[in-house]
Amino acid sequence: MYTETKKTYVISCIALRNKTIMKTPVAFIIFNRPDTTKRVFEAIRQAKPPKLLVIADGPRSDRPGEAEKCAAARAVIDCVDWDCEVLTNYSDVNLGCKIRVSSGLDWVFSEVEEAIILEDDCLPHPSFFPFCEEMLNYYRNDTRIMAVCGGNFQFGHNRNNYSYYFSRYVHVWGWASWRRAWQNYDVDIKLWKEVSDCDLLPSILEDTKTLKYWNKTFQNTYDGLIDTWDHQLTFTFWSQNGLTILPNSNLVSNIGFREDATHTKGNSEVANIPTEAIDFPLKHPPFMMRNIQADKYTEKIQFSATLLNRVKRKLISIFKLISLINN
């Protein structure tokens, strides 16, 4: 089913300007969109990671022309022109989002201890890479931290005076993690039944609307009604009482909101958010406490469907448009 081929701690502001050699492997998840794949690949090419691990799903048999698109996306990887070890994990058949991404990341973390992970529609700012690399080093042995993310969906709300804050949410449009965290991942979330039967979710979710959203989401995921892999990651981190790191600058823009997307179809307030540089040297918080205010904002914006929040989403879309114009 798979074919595998092998082709051959702190980042300071000065080091970033001098383009210090990157040491962290990058995992790149691609499928059938060669145009967005090229754009994200170019960002990776500028960062020049020493190892690139590429995950690709196979074409769907009922989609005319998809085999050619998948082949064109894979051909982008042939353009590696820096000193880099390239490993590929390509499926000959279509496995779907849930199985392909989860099995691909199983493979990634069997090969490397830690990695920066990008999908083919997640376009990073250049400072995303040194930010992730420094965080991976800084928190490598701190099991309270499960992931480092590049996305910031606070829309101008700066949550502290440091470079990042701690959250319960994992934004997978550009993120990084360690084998030690991924080893807890279960694509079938078998623990959900016990968590649900014991009514444990209210212990971490205070808001009733958010609780209802995630109860339904986890149950549908457990029942196999959703072809995805990231809800399982959220459940994994919560079941281990883990925290994530979110930057106070948005470092990744999702450029894939269009009709040929798997999940990101139509208009969204989180589509094409402008990116901006994060300043170095990083300012590390002297504490490790979840930013409840930031998480509540995320919950209200993303995990609630009230009329008020639909209005808020519209206002956010306007804010984002103004930011694009100003930039």
As a dihedral over the C-alpha atoms of residue 296, residue 297, residue 302, residue 303, rounded to 10 degrees, the angle is: 20
Report the alpha-carbon distance of residue 236 to residue 118 in Å, rounded: 20
For residues 54 and 3, the answer to whether their CB atoms sit within 8 Å is no
Specify the 3-state DSSP secondary structure of 85.
strand
Report the alpha-carbon distance of residue 282 to residue 99 in Å, rounded: 36
User: In 3D, which of 132, 102, 116, 103 has the Cα closest to residue 11?
Assistant: 132
pLDDT category at 16 given cuts 50, 70, 90 is very low
Q: Which two tokens stand for residue 145?
A: 């931290």
Report the alpha-carbon distance of residue 288 to residue 310 in Å, rounded: 32
Q: What is the chain's mean pLDDT, rounded?
A: 88
Report the alpha-carbon distance of residue 193 to residue 195 in Å, rounded: 5
As a dihedral over the C-alpha atoms of residue 252, residue 253, residue 256, residue 257, rounded to 10 degrees, the angle is: 130
Per-residue pLDDT of 100-119, as tens digits, reads 999 999 999 999 999 999 99
Q: Which two tokens stand for residue 205?
A: 């979710």
User: Using the 8-state DSSP alphabet, how is residue 273 labeled?
Assistant: P
- Work out how many domains the chain is built from and give that number: 1
Position 318 scores a pLDDT of: 52
pLDDT category at 122 given cuts 50, 70, 90 is very high
Helix (H) or strand (E) holding 283, with range, is none
If you count them, how many residues does the chain have?
327
Only one residue has tokens 């029942």, namely 223
Specify the 3-state DSSP secondary structure of 287.
coil
pLDDT category at 7 given cuts 50, 70, 90 is very low
Position 159 scores a pLDDT of: 87
State the CATH number of the domain containing residue 130: 3.90.550.10
Report the alpha-carbon distance of residue 157 to residue 191 in Å, rounded: 35
Position 171 scores a pLDDT of: 95
Its pTM stands at: 0.86
Only one residue has tokens 């470092």, namely 251
User: In 3D, which of 311, 230, 313, 300 has the Cα closest to residue 271?
Assistant: 313
Report the alpha-carbon distance of residue 36 to residue 268 in Å, rounded: 18
What sign does the dihedral 272-247-297-236 (CA atoms) show?
positive
User: In 3D, which of 100, 94, 109, 92 has the Cα closest to residue 53?
Assistant: 109
Helix (H) or strand (E) holding 288, with range, is none
Per-residue pLDDT of 268-325, as tens digits, reads 676 778 899 999 999 999 999 999 999 999 988 877 654 344 455 455 445 545 555 5
Surface-to-core class of residue 286, CB atoms within 10 Å of its CB (0-12 exposed, 13-18 middle, 19+ buried): exposed
Q: Which structural domain, as residue segments, surrounds residue 19?
A: 2-326
Those residues whose C-beta lies under 8 Å from the C-beta of residue 193, and which sit 6 or more positions away, are: 222
